C-alpha cells in the first residue's frame, strides 16, 4: 500500500502520477491533459502551501486513474477548464473557453443544443458512446449541432411561408358587450396599437365601475331608502291610527317601482306607481339613478356596435392589404435566399453558416 500524499515530497508525488498515467491511461491526449493538471497542482502545493485540500483532490484523482474511470476523469478535466484564469495555470481547451461568458444566455442555450444533439447522435449510434478526446469532439460537432438547430428553424419558416398569413377578427368581452378588433401579423402582441389597448382598458374599467354603482344602489341605497319610507309611513300611520303595511310589503312595492332585478336591463314597468305616496316620494330619486345607469349602459352598447360597424371594417381591409404586401416581400426574399445563399452554406464557416444566412436575410433577429 502506497503512503499518503501528505507524507510524500512533491517530486515523489509527481513521479507517482506520471508512472500511473502511463500504466493505466492509453489515450495520449488524455495523458497529456492529466500531466498538465498534475503540474499545476504540484506548483500550488509548493508556492501557495494549500496542501490539505489539494492532497485530497490528488488522492481521489489517483484512485480514478488506477480504476480507469474515464468518465470521472473527463468530468474532472472539464471542471478544471471552467475555473477562473487566476486559479488555472494550464491551457486546457483554450480555444473553446476563450471569449466565452458562462453567464451569457446565448452560450447556455447553444450548450444545451449541443448536449441534446450529442445524446441524439449517440442514441442513433452515429457516433461512439465514449470519446477519447471530448474537446476535439466538441470542436468538430458543435457547428453540426448548431446547423441542425437552425435547419429546424428554416423548416418552420418554410412551412409558415407556404401560405399567406390570415387577417381575422377577434373580440374581448366587457360588461357592455364585445369589443371587436382586427388581428394580423402586423399588430400582434407588442405591435398592437396603444390606442386600441387604452380603449379596451377604459371600457373594461368603466364596465366594472358601472357594476359597482349598480350594486351600491341595490344593496345600500335601495335598502336604506325602503327603511326610511317604512319608518316615515309607520310614524304617519300611528298618528292617524290607520293600518300599517309590513316591511316586506315595502320591499315588494319598491321592486315593482324599479321594474328590474339585479343586473337586468329589462325595465318591466318603469311607470308603475304604488298607492303609498311616501314610498313613491322616497323611490323617485333612486329610480332616477337606475334610469341614469341604464342610459349609460345603452350608450356604451351602441358605441361598441358603431365601433364594429364603422372602424373595424375599414381597419380589416387595411391590414389585409398590408399583410399581403408583407407576405409577398418576405416570399420574394425567401426565394432569393434559396437560390443564392443556401447552396453555399457551410456549418464550419462563420460568414456562411446557416445562422448567419438567416440573419442576413432578416429571418432571425440579430440578437438571437
Residue 289: which of 228, 220, 201 has the closest Cα?
A: 220
Question: What pLDDT was estimated at residue 82?
Answer: 58
Residues 81 and 110 in one domain: no
Q: Are 341 and 334 in contact (CB under 8 A)?
A: no
- Residue 81, pLDDT score: 63
CB 181 within 8 Å of CB 170: yes
Regions of the chain with pLDDT less than 50 = 1-7, 84-103, 240-241, 261-269
Strand partners, 55: none
How far is it, in rounded angstroms, from Cα 65 to Cα 70? 8
**Residue 98 confidence (pLDDT):** 44
158 and 242 co-located in one domain: no
Gap between the Cα atoms of 285 and 292, Å rounded: 10
My answer on whether 81 and 159 are in the same domain is no
Predicted local distance difference test score (pLDDT) of residue 273: 65
Nearest alpha carbon to residue 133 among 233, 215, 28: 28
In a domain, 330, yes or no: no
Which residues form the domain of 273? 168-319
What is the pTM for the complete model shown?
A: 0.55
Please check whether residue 366 lies inside any domain of the structure. Answer: no
182 lies in some domain: yes
pLDDT at 65: 85
pLDDT (0 to 100) of residue 280: 80
Same domain for 26 and 48, yes or no, is yes
Is 159 within the bounds of a domain? yes
Q: Count up the domains in the chain and report the number.
A: 3
Amino acid at each position: 500500500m502506497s503512503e499518503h500524499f501528505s507524507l510524500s515530497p512533491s517530486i515523489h508525488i509527481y513521479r507517482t502520477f506520471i508512472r500511473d498515467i502511463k500504466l493505466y491511461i492509453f489515450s495520449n491526449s488524455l495523458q497529456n491533459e492529466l500531466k498538465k493538471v498534475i503540474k499545476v497542482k504540484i506548483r500550488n502545493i509548493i508556492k501557495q502551501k494549500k496542501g490539505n485540500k489539494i492532497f485530497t483532490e490528488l488522492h481521489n484523482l489517483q484512485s480514478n486513474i488506477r480504476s480507469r474511470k474515464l468518465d470521472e476523469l473527463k468530468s474532472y478535466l472539464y471542471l478544471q477548464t471552467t475555473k477562473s484564469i487566476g486559479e488555472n495555470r494550464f491551457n486546457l481547451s483554450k480555444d473553446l473557453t476563450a471569449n466565452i461568458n458562462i453567464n451569457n444566455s446565448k452560450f447556455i442555450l447553444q450548450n444545451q443544443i449541443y448536449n441534446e444533439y450529442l445524446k441524439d447522435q449517440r442514441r442513433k449510434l452515429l457516433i461512439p458512446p465514449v470519446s477519447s478526446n471530448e474537446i476535439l469532439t466538441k470542436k468538430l460537432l458543435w457547428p453540426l449541432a448548431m446547423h441542425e438547430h437552425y435547419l429546424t428553424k428554416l423548416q418552420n419558416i418554410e412551412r409558415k411561408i407556404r401560405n399567406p398569413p390570415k387577417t381575422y377578427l377577434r373580440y374581448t368581452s366587457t360588461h357592455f358587450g364585445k369589443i371587436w378588433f382586427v388581428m394580423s401579423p402586423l399588430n400582434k402582441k407588442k405591435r398592437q396599437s396603444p390606442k386600441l389597448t387604452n380603449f379596451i382598458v377604459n371600457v373594461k374599467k368603466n364596465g366594472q365601475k358601472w357594476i359597482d354603482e349598480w350594486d351600491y344602489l341595490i344593496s345600500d341605497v335601495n335598502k336604506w331608502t325602503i327603511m326610511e319610507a317604512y319608518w316615515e309611513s309607520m310614524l304617519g300611520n300611528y298618528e292617524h291610527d290607520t293600518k300599517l303595511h309590513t316591511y316586506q310589503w315595502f320591499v315588494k312595492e319598491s321592486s315593482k317601482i324599479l321594474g328590474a332585478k339585479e343586473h337586468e336591463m329589462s325595465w318591466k314597468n318603469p311607470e308603475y306607481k304604488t298607492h303609498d305616496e311616501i314610498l313613491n316620494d322616497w323611490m323617485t330619486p333612486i329610480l332616477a339613478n337606475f334610469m341614469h345607469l341604464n342610459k349609460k349602459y345603452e350608450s356604451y352598447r351602441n358605441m361598441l356596435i358603431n365601433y364594429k360597424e364603422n372602424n373595424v371594417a375599414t381597419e380589416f381591409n387595411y391590414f389585409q392589404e398590408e399583410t399581403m404586401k408583407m407576405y409577398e416581400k418576405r416570399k420574394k426574399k425567401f426565394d432569393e435566399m434559396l437560390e443564392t445563399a443556401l447552396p453555399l452554406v457551410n456549418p464550419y464557416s462563420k460568414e456562411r453558416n446557416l445562422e448567419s444566412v438567416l440573419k442576413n436575410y432578416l429571418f432571425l433577429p440579430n440578437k438571437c
